[in-house]
Structures are given as C-alpha cells and as structure tokens.
Amino acid sequence: MKRLFQVSAIVLAGFATFLIAIQSSQAEWLDGLRIDPAQSQQMLSFQQGITDADDLLSSACAVKPIPRPGRLRNLPAIQGAPPLTRFRQDSPSNSTFQPVEEVALAHPSNFGRRFTQDLSGRPVSNDPIIVLHETVGSGSSAINYFRMSHPRDNDQVSYHTLIRENGNIVYLVPPDRRAFGAGNSIFSGNKGNEAVKTNPTFPPSVNNFAYHISLATPPDGRGNGSRHSGYTRAQYQSLAWLVAKTGIPNDRITTHQLVDRSRQRRDPRSFNAQYFAQLLAAFPKTNDISMQCTLPAIAQEE
C-alpha cells in the first residue's frame, strides 16, 4: 500500500502541448507549433544513404558535448530493424502477461549518445529516471515523424518507447542512448534538482539520464482540451510491465508535466496514477532495460 501511494503521488495527470506531427491535408503540428507541410518535405531531402547499423547504434557513451554552431546533423539512415535484444533483455518471470513488441527505430538524427561530462566538462553520473508522456497526435504519426531525418537541432524529437492504444510496445531509441523527449527540463527528487546541459543553444534538461515512454493519445484527446477519455487497460498493463523491466525506483518515475520548466507541458492528461501503481506493484522489478552506456567513451557523438 505504501508503494501504491508513493507512485500515485509521483505520477500526476496533466495536459500535453507536446503536439507531435499531426499530419492532415491542412497542416502538421509539432510541440505546439504549426509546421508547413512543404517544410517537412524539405527536411526529408536532407536524408542521406544507408549505412551499417553497428556504427550508429553502438552503446558507447560520448565524453562531452562538442559545440557545433550552425552545423546540420546529416546522419545516414539505418538499414533494417535492430533485434529486440538491442532494447531489452529477457529475465525469467512468473508473470503470464506478455505484450506484443515492435521495433520502429527512430532516425539517428533524432537521438544521440549519453554523455559522461556536461558541456563545461564536469563529470555527470545521475541515476536514471522515467518520464511519462502522451503523443497528443496519433501514435502512428509520432512514429512516422521520429523516423524522418531532422538535421536541425530545433526539429529533433523522440521517445525511447511508445505504447499504442492496443497495448503494443514500440521501441524507438535504444535505452542506453539519449532520446530528445524533454527540452528545458529538471527533475526534483531526494537528491535535489537534476539536469544536464548538453547543448550551448538550449537550456539544461533531463534527457541525458531519462528514459522517455509515451502513451498514444485516444482520438478524443487530439487537441488542446484539458482532458480526454483516458488510456486503455492494455496501455496501462504494458506500461507497468515495461517500467518494471527498468528497475528504476518508484521515486524516480515522473511525468513530462513535472519536469517541464516552461510550465507549458501537462502530459500525460487523464492519467490514472492509482491504477498504474496497482499494476506496477504486480510485476517484479528487473534490470532487463538498462540506461547505462558503455565505456570507453568515444570522443564525440556523431
């Protein structure tokens, strides 16, 4: 019961302005900004050829961020899908629940390496956290956007994992890599305020030590309303199963709303924290999903 109340107090319901590429005949949306469809086509033109996945998907850390003013991140696409083991291991379990799992790798321009030092060269060793989101647009439109090439820093965004309305878990970014899920963010826990600055242009964020999970928003929530009909039972079950596999303590599970310093994000809206806590307590915690990048670190990320 104590564990239930602990998670319920941490994971709050809210509303997202994190609008993810809602594609229509009129416009596309991203993070609350309207994007001209022609601009999206221009972004696609930057995508380069195919390369071996081993180079861009290694688990190696990077030492520290290297400022690259004005430089576009023109990374090549990756051929094929990496194996499921690149996203999680599989410990023996007494649970009979097994969600359907998919791999839809984000384009390499939309994620980076985890750093061992911040922009100023100070060592960083934050314990990992989980940040819960919702897509606001459809799950499929979010996945499609993440799989596009986005060379400009301002356009890059991703989650590690997305959970569809039917409960399917979609792995997008390997857990030991840095997804771009919460810019201008800070985690306030029992160790104080935590954030790491990795880009000279942007404020510090939790991305260097966060594992970002997003729930696909139901159709009646694809707009700026304060609430919607909520998430499916299958989504909650898959979310609890997934979170348990990270082994992350309950007091380091948070939401986009709670870490956002702009106070504009309130996702995930209509989130039933008590129900999630009940389901989470039923799954044993493991370390099947590890956020730890490997050493020796490379000099700089791609």
Structure tokens at 61: 């850390």
CB 267 within 8 A of CB 16: yes
Q: What mean pLDDT do residues 32-49 have?
A: 33
Give, in degrees to the nearest 5, the angle at Cα 214 between 34 and 200: 60
Angular region, 105: left φ>0, alpha ψ -120 to 50, beta rest:
beta
pLDDT at 9 over 80: no
Q: What is the pairing mode between strands 161-163 and 169-171?
A: antiparallel
Specify which residues 193 forms β-bridges with.
Answer: 188
Domain that holds residue 108: 2-298
pLDDT the model gives residue 62: 96
User: Which 3 state secondary structure label does DSSP give 221?
Assistant: helix
**CATH of residue 192:** 3.40.80.10
pLDDT the model gives residue 225: 81
| Secondary structure of 159-215 in HEC code, one letter for each residue | CCEEECCCCCEEECCCCCEEECCCCCECEEECCEEECECCCCCCCCECHHHEEEEEE
CB 195 within 8 A of CB 210: no
List pLDDT tens digits, range 214-271.
Answer: 999 999 998 778 899 999 999 999 999 999 999 999 999 999 999 999 988 889 999 9
Domains in the chain: how many in total?
Answer: 1
Q: What whole-number percentage of the chain has pLDDT above 70?
A: 82
pLDDT the model gives residue 96: 87
pLDDT the model gives residue 8: 47
pTM: 0.84
Distance of alpha carbon 295 from alpha carbon 5, whole angstroms = 38
Tell me which DSSP letter residue 42 carries: H
Q: What whole-number percentage of the chain has pLDDT above 90?
A: 68
pLDDT the model gives residue 79: 85
Q: What mean pLDDT do residues 18-30 have?
A: 32
Calculate the average pLDDT of the chain: 84
Q: What mean pLDDT do residues 150-164 have?
A: 95
pLDDT the model gives residue 56: 83
